[in-house]
Amino acid sequence: MLEIEKEIVAPLPDIKKKPYSYQRVLLGTAFIFLGAATVAVGGATIKYRLTNLIVEDGLINGRIVRLQAPTNGNIKAFYAQPGVLVKPGQVLAQIGTERSPQEEQFRLQLERSQAERLERSQAEQISSQLKLSDLAGEVQANASQLAAAKESLNFLKNQLQSLKNQHNAVQGVDVQMALQGVSQQQAAVDAAVAKAIANRSQYERYKQLLAQGAVSQQQTEILQLGWESAEAEVKQTKAALNSAQASLNATKNGLAFSNQNTIGGTLSDQRSKLLQAIQAQETLISNLEAQISTGRQQLNKAQSLYKIRQPLAIAPVSYPRDRQDIKVSAPFAGVVYSTEHEQGEQVTNSERIMTLLDCNNLWIEAVVRADEASRIDTKKPVNVQIRGYSKTITGEIDLLQPISSIQGIDERAKLMQVQALLPTIPPTLVGQPLTRVTVKIPPPPGHTNSQQFCGLGQSARLTFSNKGFGSN
């Protein structure tokens, strides 16, 4: 029985060791799961870094507008203080414009000069009226002379037409006579041609008989001479016909005008005189029309000058004895960024007196390496995390501009004219190809609070989506 009890008691230590081994297994499993989670988190972080570009040193920037003094004077009131929100049209400063002793002396001189100018203007007005009267009279005289010249021209043209009618009547008779002469010459040509044909026919017949020995050589030669004489007569009658035809054409065309005599000389002489008179009259009319046109232009110009000068003599320019103060108002809603003067100070025209910050035109600006900028997807939004605010806002890329690590003086001066801050290049990026990135953002939280300057100068974290990957 004791042995049995020993055997039963002996295994008890092994039973107690089993819970200890089970705990070790659980602990090892927990470490395995923890390592797997760490690897997963690391892999997700690596993937996030590959699909996105994170820029830690972004800077909120904004557009500034510099307000200038509209005139010379002293600042009577100055309501603008840096950091204060202003509304459109809100009065920011009031500039007094009291006249200096030099300006008062100038005013007196101006009044004296205006009195002298008034006297001169009145004298010029009287002279202009006389000149207008002379020009109008000259234009009227030329117009009357032009009307008389046109009447004379019409009379001369009527005489020329009457002469042409007379010539046409005489020419008709001459044409009929010339036609008869042509007909007679044509009849003579026809008779000469018929005679030549008959003589030739008879000569040809005798020439054949001569070859047969039926007639003598002498008879044949006589007939040949008769035929040649008839041919010469044909040529002579044709020449006479051509002469008669030429005479007919000349008569039809009026070339025989000079042979027609009248009481006043030949028709040709009368026609020549009329044409010369008509030409002289047309030249006179052309000159008169040119003189009238020039005279009317001079008259219109003189009348225009008279109308311009007349109000100057009636209403001289006034120089006010007292000036009103000029107000400088805010052109838009924004924040007073800086001031250049205080109340009571003197300012000159176009001198800068203050600078406004436009809170509706803000962006975050950063400088990145050019190779990183080339991978940014400009079509996707940008996640913006402003330092000090837990809420993330969304922006959009406005500009990707390659720059050098050391910008020129002129380029930086231009930027300073339109933006409030001029971000610097991080020392780690000096000497590398760089790109300036600007991201448009809405006004950040709390931008309406006084002395916040719309969040200007606050740093922000920018998360860009790379090309080929989705946004985070």
Give the residue-averaged pLDDT of 285-298.
88
pLDDT tens per residue, range 15-49: 444 455 666 667 777 767 676 666 555 554 555 55
Last residue of a domain, one of 284, 309, 334: 309
Taking the C-alpha atoms of residue 415 and residue 314, their distance in angstroms, rounded to an integer, is 53
Of the ranges 225-239, 256-270, 328-342, which one carries the lowest mean pLDDT score? 256-270
Give the residue-averaged pLDDT of 80-85.
86
Same domain, 270 and 218: yes
DSSP 148-171: HHHHHHHHHHHHHHHHHHHHHHHH
Which phi and psi (to 5°) does residue 296 adopt?
Answer: -70, -40
Same domain, 67 and 108: no
Report the chain's mean pLDDT, rounded to a whole number.
78
In a domain, 163, yes or no: yes
Q: Which residues contact 259 (CB under 8 A, 6 or more apart)?
A: 266
pLDDT tens per residue, range 154-210: 988 888 888 777 767 766 766 777 787 788 888 888 888 988 898 888 888 888 888
Structure-token pair, residue 390: 């837990």
In a domain, 5, yes or no: no
For residue 258, give the nearest of 175, 170, 158, 180 by alpha carbon: 170
Q: Residue 29: what pLDDT?
A: 74
Say if residue 105's pLDDT is above 60: yes
Taking the C-alpha atoms of residue 96 and residue 328, their distance in angstroms, rounded to an integer, is 11
Q: Most distant CA pair in the chain: distance in Å? A: 205
In a domain, 134, yes or no: yes
Domain count across the chain: 2
How remote is the C-alpha of 348 from its chain's centroid? 38
Which phi and psi (to 5°) does residue 282 adopt?
Answer: -65, -40
Q: Residue 132: what pLDDT?
A: 77
Say if residue 253's pLDDT is above 80: no
Say if residue 315's pLDDT is above 70: no
Same domain, 121 and 164: yes
Return the CATH number at 234. 1.10.287
Coil/strand/helix, residue 93: strand
Taking the C-alpha atoms of residue 277 and residue 287, their distance in angstroms, rounded to an integer, is 15
pTM of the model: 0.44
Say if residue 6's pLDDT is above 70: no
In a domain, 27, yes or no: no
More confident residue, 120 or 142: 142
For residue 99, give the nearest of 75, 73, 77 by alpha carbon: 73
Say if residue 7's pLDDT is above 50: no
Domain of residue 363: give its range.
Answer: 53-71+346-465
Q: Which of 45-49, 245-249, 273-277, 443-447 has the highest mean pLDDT?
A: 273-277
Give burial (CB, 10 Å; 0-12/13-18/19+) of 285.
middle
In a domain, 25, yes or no: no
Say if residue 452's pLDDT is above 60: yes
Same domain, 154 and 213: yes
In a domain, 93, yes or no: no
Say if residue 471's pLDDT is above 50: no
Q: Which of 306-315, 317-326, 419-428 has the highest mean pLDDT?
A: 419-428
Structure-token pair, residue 433: 């190809």
Which phi and psi (to 5°) does residue 92 adopt?
Answer: -105, -25
Give the residue-averaged pLDDT of 132-137.
83
Taking the C-alpha atoms of residue 409 and residue 180, their distance in angstroms, rounded to an integer, is 108
**Beta carbons of 254 and 175 less than 8 angstroms apart:** no
Same domain, 270 and 410: no
pLDDT tens per residue, range 332-387: 888 898 898 888 888 888 888 999 988 888 899 999 999 988 899 889 999 999 88
Q: Residue 139: what pLDDT?
A: 86
Same domain, 289 and 153: yes
Coil/strand/helix, residue 11: coil
Considering just the CA atoms, what is the radius of gyration of the chain in Å?
60
Percent of the chain with pLDDT over 90: 5
Last residue of a domain, one of 309, 334, 369: 309
Q: Residue 254: what pLDDT?
A: 62
Same domain, 196 and 257: yes
Coil/strand/helix, residue 439: strand
In a domain, 380, yes or no: yes
Q: Which of 2-6, 141-145, 425-429 has the highest mean pLDDT?
A: 141-145
Same domain, 133 and 279: yes
Give burial (CB, 10 Å; 0-12/13-18/19+) of 17.
exposed
First vs last C-alpha separation in the chain: 77
Count the Cβ atoms, other than its own, within 10 Å of residue 5. Answer: 9
Say if residue 220's pLDDT is above 90: no
Taking the C-alpha atoms of residue 289 and residue 272, their distance in angstroms, rounded to an integer, is 26
Long-range contacts of 290-295 (CB under 8 A, 24+ apart): 291/142, 292/139, 292/142, 292/143, 292/146, 295/135, 295/138, 295/139, 295/142
Same domain, 154 and 211: yes
In a domain, 155, yes or no: yes
Same domain, 174 and 262: yes
Same domain, 124 and 219: yes
Same domain, 157 and 237: yes
Last residue of a domain, one of 250, 283, 309: 309
**Beta carbons of 65 and 337 less than 8 angstroms apart:** no
37-54 per-residue burial string, b: 16 or more CB within 10 A, e: under 16: eeeeeeeeeeeeeeebbe
Q: Residue 103: what pLDDT?
A: 63
Taking the C-alpha atoms of residue 92 and residue 90, their distance in angstroms, rounded to an integer, is 6
